[in-house]
Chain A
Amino acid sequence: MAEVRIEGLTKYFGDTCAVNQLNLVVRDGDLVVLLGPSGCGKTTTMRCVAGLERPTYGDIYIGETRVNDLEPRERDVALVFQSYALYPHFTAFDNIAYPLRLRKTPKDEIERRVRDVAEMLGISHTLERPPGLCSGGEQQRIALGRAIVREPVVFLMDEPLSNIDALLRVYMRAEIKRLQHELGTTMIYVTHDQVEGMTMADQIAVMNEGTLQQLGTPSEIYDLPANNFVARFVGSTPMNFIPGALQKENGRTVHKSDQFVIPVSAEMADRAAELCPSGQCTLGVRPEEIRFTTDDEGDNQARVFLLEPLGSETILDIEKEGLLLKVKDVASTQVREGDNLSLSFNRFHLFDDNTGAAIR
């Protein structure tokens, strides 16, 4: 059990900067998800913690120890690879036993601990088989078993669920979270799947182009995105963006775009005047925060051009003068394609067009 502290981590591959000045503290026992698109530096960051890459600059601490100069085996962290990286010439049992054998654990203790872990993961029946004869899900769990069996101080997971089918993934993500809670071991979990991030994390670190965009709980990340990248990346139906500018109209501030005029609260207008004097900013609103009525009256009129029923809810695709919006209809109102709706915007964010930062 240990805290992981990353201070000013910078990693270059040749001239390419993979990670830039990253600061991150993973509290003891937390499950932190590094979330970002491919190439954002999340895997590199994790590999630096693992010891498979050396940082160009910056320090990494596990517990109180600075581990920059330690070999992977001296760090006592376990890593589950995206490809599982099982040893094809060993049986599942030998795969899981390998880290224990390297630590010269007594034979009967190895036997006991491997069986215990296999029991816990439900793979007892595969132990005598080579991994090649196990299903994808079983291979996944053998890889987990190999990480768990030696009781490391930190778990690192590199997109461990991306190679199994969707149904099993939903199951395994809960399984991994449960295991992490039971063992109480610090975990850094790398994924590009924002649903995995949202469902599993205590804290999410959103990364893009080698820099940390935001660190926060899933609800903070979702409700208070720090900038337009985070806002765009998180959310299974993406946030709607309406480019425009803030203006005064009849003594109130409004966000005026080609399509809509949306009133802005006095508080937000004050902050905007301070943070974004040009007034050029994009309004971001989540699909579930757009309210609508089927009146033909009202300010913000738009036409429904497509329905995407999802069973529990329906996504309405709405168009106005070249701008597309997605609106979540949870109440299953009887909207039809071609209907005109009157929209109101419940909660929204403003992003400075120059910096992309949220105005808050």
Chain B
Amino acid sequence: MAQTDVSETTTNEPVPQDVVMAAQGRRLNPRKLLVVIVLYLAAFWTLVPMYWVAISSIKSLRDLAHIPPRFFPTDPRLDAWVTIFERRILENVYNSLVVSTLATIICLIIAVPAAYAATRMRLPFKFVAIVVGLMGLVALLPPIASAIPLFLLGSDLGIIDEKYTLIILYTVLNTAFAVWVLRGTFMDVPMDVEEAALMDGDTRFGAVRRILLPLIFPSLFSIAILLFIFNWNEYIIALYFVNSMKTMTLPIAIQAQIPQHELDWGVVSAAGTIAVFPVLVAAFTLQRFLVRGLTFGVASGQ
């Protein structure tokens, strides 16, 4: 098993035998059929809302208000899209991209060494347990619990309505989660491989850079995408810290499309569609890497 997995992760050589066999053996027996039906139902369940948002953005007002709801627009139009671009949604996309990307990168820069230390440095067990436990607590804390104190702190410091403030906050709030997940990833790589690098004449830092990080790259990439999605979707903190178009991220921008009177569902839906798009792309990329990340442990352990 281990050997075929390596071929999958490290070379582009012929498809492993067991994969070929699995493909040939794909006959639908009742059990498999049941599984397939359940999977289709689950997919339907998750995809319908997205579809609904997407078609709502091109529906006419009449279609939008129609009862029973129409699954296919009878009179598609792009009015909502024109409006949303007129309202400079691209600036919000830019803000979201900058904040999410930088917060993700900085978070990893902090979390990788922290997770490394927690797994490899043979610190006193109690110390690691307490620190990691506290970190888990922070990760589990509902964001609203910290939003208000953070807001008070931020306004005292006069850093409300700045992009860097959002970046700092997102970094801080995600680091605990990232350390937690990375710790598990590091523990999957046998200590031997890194020690071999030390014996071969590498420095500890070199061993991490040349051996450990390349080995866990798929997992690292998956974690990065997860963090990016968290940041991209973050709403509560942004709600407190965004005051102007200068810092407005997409989730806040979408909410801003809902005025006091006369809600235009088309515009909200168009903004929603824009917001979902990068997440979809990320999810598809992630899917490929997630599979690799999970099978990786098998390949490296002897």
Physical interaction between A and B? yes
With A52-B195, A81-B196, A85-B190 known as contacts, the answer to whether A132 contacts B203 (CB < 8 A) is no
Q: Kindly report which residue of chain B lies nearest to residue A96, judged by CB atoms.
A: B200
Whether the pair A72, B10 counts as a contact (CB closer than 8 A) is no
Whether the pair B200, A146 counts as a contact (CB closer than 8 A) is yes
Binary interface encoding of chain B residues 1-19 relative to chain A, with 1 for a CB under 8 A from any of its CBs, else 0 = 0110111011101000000
Whether the pair B195, A89 counts as a contact (CB closer than 8 A) is no
Which of A52, A85, A130, A146 has the most chain B CB atoms closer than 10 A to its own CB? Answer: A85
Whether the pair B196, A132 counts as a contact (CB closer than 8 A) is no
Contact residues, A14-54 vs B (CB, 8 A): 50-52
Binary interface encoding of chain B residues 183-209 relative to chain A, with 1 for a CB under 8 A from any of its CBs, else 0 = 000000010110111111111001000
CB contact between B202 and one of A73, A79, A84, A163 (< 8 Å): that residue? A73
Q: Least Cβ distance of B244 to chain A in Å?
A: 47
Whether the pair A132, B2 counts as a contact (CB closer than 8 A) is yes
Interface residues in B, total, Cβ within 8 A: 28
With A83-B302, A87-B211 known as contacts, the answer to whether A52 contacts B198 (CB < 8 A) is yes
Q: Kindly report which residue of chain A lies nearest to residue B2, judged by CB atoms.
A: A132
Q: Least Cβ distance of A358 to chain B in Å?
A: 38
Check A88 for interface membership: any CB of B closer than 8 A.
Answer: yes
Q: Least Cβ distance of B198 to chain A in Å?
A: 5
CB contact between B197 and one of A50, A77, A98 (< 8 Å): that residue? A98
Q: Kindly report which residue of chain B lies nearest to residue A103, judged by CB atoms.
A: B201
Check B49 for interface membership: any CB of A closer than 8 A.
Answer: no
Whether the pair A78, B199 counts as a contact (CB closer than 8 A) is yes
With A85-B193, A87-B211, A88-B300 known as contacts, the answer to whether A133 contacts B199 (CB < 8 A) is no
Whether the pair B198, A88 counts as a contact (CB closer than 8 A) is no
Check B89 for interface membership: any CB of A closer than 8 A.
Answer: no
Contact residues, A151-180 vs B (CB, 8 A): 163
Interface residues on A, range: 20 to 34
CA distance in complex: A98, B196 (Å)? 10
Q: Taking chain B's interface residues, is the majority helix, strand, or loop, or is none over half, making it mixed?
A: helix
CA distance in complex: A85, B197 (Å)? 9
Check A99 for interface membership: any CB of B closer than 8 A.
Answer: yes
With A73-B202, A102-B202, A130-B6 known as contacts, the answer to whether A163 contacts B196 (CB < 8 A) is no
Whether the pair B299, A88 counts as a contact (CB closer than 8 A) is yes
Contacts of A81 in B (CB 8 A): 192, 195-196
Q: Least Cβ distance of A126 to chain B in Å?
A: 13
Q: Could you jot down 20 A-B contacts, CB within 8 Å?
A: A72-B195, A73-B202, A79-B195, A81-B195, A82-B192, A83-B190, A84-B302, A85-B195, A87-B193, A88-B9, A88-B215, A130-B11, A131-B6, A132-B10, A132-B299, A133-B3, A133-B7, A133-B13, A150-B201, A163-B302
Which of A89, A99, A146 has the most chain B CB atoms closer than 10 A to its own CB? Answer: A89
CA distance in complex: A71, B195 (Å)? 12
Contacts of B192 in A (CB 8 A): 81-83, 85
Binary interface encoding of chain A residues 76-112 relative to chain B, with 1 for a CB under 8 A from any of its CBs, else 0 = 0111011111111100000000110011000000000
Contacts of B299 in A (CB 8 A): 88, 132
Contact residues, B194-246 vs A (CB, 8 A): 195-203, 206, 211, 214-215
CA distance in complex: A52, B197 (Å)? 11
Q: Kindly report which residue of chain A lies nearest to residue B202, judged by CB atoms.
A: A102
Whether the pair B193, A72 counts as a contact (CB closer than 8 A) is no
CA distance in complex: A71, B197 (Å)? 12
With A85-B193, A89-B214, A130-B10 known as contacts, the answer to whether A77 contacts B199 (CB < 8 A) is yes
CA distance in complex: A89, B216 (Å)? 10
Given A72-B195, A131-B6, 16 more A-B residue pairs with CB atoms under 8 Å apart are: A52-B195, A52-B199, A71-B198, A73-B199, A79-B195, A79-B199, A81-B195, A83-B192, A85-B192, A85-B193, A88-B215, A103-B201, A130-B6, A133-B11, A146-B200, A163-B302
Contact residues, B1-44 vs A (CB, 8 A): 2-3, 5-7, 9-11, 13
Whether the pair A132, B197 counts as a contact (CB closer than 8 A) is no
Q: Kindly report which residue of chain A lies nearest to residue B122, judged by CB atoms.
A: A13
Contacts of A85 in B (CB 8 A): 190, 192-193, 195-196
CA distance in complex: A90, B201 (Å)? 17
CA distance in complex: A354, B48 (Å)? 81
Q: Least Cβ distance of B166 to chain A in Å?
A: 36
Q: Least Cβ distance of B77 to chain A in Å?
A: 53
Q: Kindly report which residue of chain A lies nearest to residue B193, judged by CB atoms.
A: A85
Contacts of A84 in B (CB 8 A): 302
